Copies of this chain bind each other. A is one copy, B any other.
Amino acid sequence: MSTVLVFGHKNPDTDTICSALAYAELKKKLGMDAEAIRLGEVNGETQYALDHFRVKAPRLVERVSDEVNSVILVDHNEFQQSAEDIADVRILEVVDHHRIANFQTADALYYRAEPVGCTATILLKLYKEHGVEIAPDMAGLMLSAIISDSLLFKSPTCTDEDIKAAKELAAISGTDIETYGLEMLKAGADLSQKTIPELISLDAKEFAMGDYRIEIAQVNTVDANDVLSRKAEVEAAMAVKMLDKELDLFVFAITNILTNDSEALVVGKKTDLFEQAFNVKLVDGLATLPGVVSRKKQIVPVLTAAATN
């Protein structure tokens, strides 16, 4: 059997990298010739987790169809967030925790999505369903994914299942959740060394909503001024990317992981859509979204509703 590549979304975050590694490991233990890969650069938070648990980052692959016929997706399904040539390969499986959109296959497949906070929470179930033991390093990476996606259990996307899974994985990997979790989040929230183009693409996802193409980028920080002190340059870079990708709207959420609020920088010809969706008035392209930390649960559905009304 030829190799099957296992990967998460573009602009990989900790769940995407760690779940690709942990699921490829499970598939290998079940007899599949599987390899985790990544579609982009490893961010600071994820690198911290990989270093901590002494796991090498997956190999970077840009075009998957040059290497394989079949792939497994984790942590995403929308084609515009996947490998650029995703339509040219057979998708054998998907394990994900997002809405389903812009996704299709010609054949039946294994698709496992659950409305939980993190892909790794579902992976823990899959390990158990197959009766496969989780190695401590993989458990540590899966725990890191849950801490990342749930902002240490504070995001509204976090479910009881995620918390339970994290505790189990912490025990297997011998990790103190609070201490390790805060260090890991802080490693990701250090934006001081980031260039402007890095800031707006570090964790950016494109969505099709109604007739519009909307990009939503997000960064975690402990001080929004790390970004807002460079506001004019950030907006200029957003405008360039918007033209380049023919977007209708570009939302950049700067999320404070201490206060759990976000500042949203909004650029594009459909800024009215954003204002209407969140019932706010943009001042100089900026609005505060109190209590908003989750793109998936607090931004995407709200904008989708506005875009399809």
Copies of this protein in the assembly total: 2
Q: Are A106 and B304 in contact (CB under 8 A)?
A: yes
A31–B102 Cα distance when bound, in Å, is: 33
A276 interfacial by beta-carbon distance below 8 Å: no
Known contacts: A113-B108, A115-B108, A129-B129. The answer to whether A100 contacts B101 by CB under 8 A is no
A114 interfacial by beta-carbon distance below 8 Å: yes
**Chain B residues, CB < 8 A from A111:** 100, 111-113
**Chain B residues, CB < 8 A from A305:** 106
A-side interface mostly? loop
Give the one of A100, A101, A112 with max B CB within 10 A.
Answer: A100
Q: Are B115 and A110 in contact (CB under 8 A)?
A: yes
Give the residues from 261 to 309 in chain A that come closer than 8 angstroms, CB to CB, to chain B.
296-297, 300-301, 304-305, 308
A interface residues (Cβ-Cβ under 8 A, vs B): 97-115, 129, 296-297, 300-301, 304-305, 308
18 pairs, CB–CB < 8 Å, chain A vs chain B: A97-B108, A99-B106, A99-B107, A100-B100, A100-B103, A100-B105, A101-B104, A103-B103, A103-B104, A106-B304, A108-B114, A108-B296, A109-B115, A111-B112, A111-B113, A112-B112, A112-B113, A129-B129
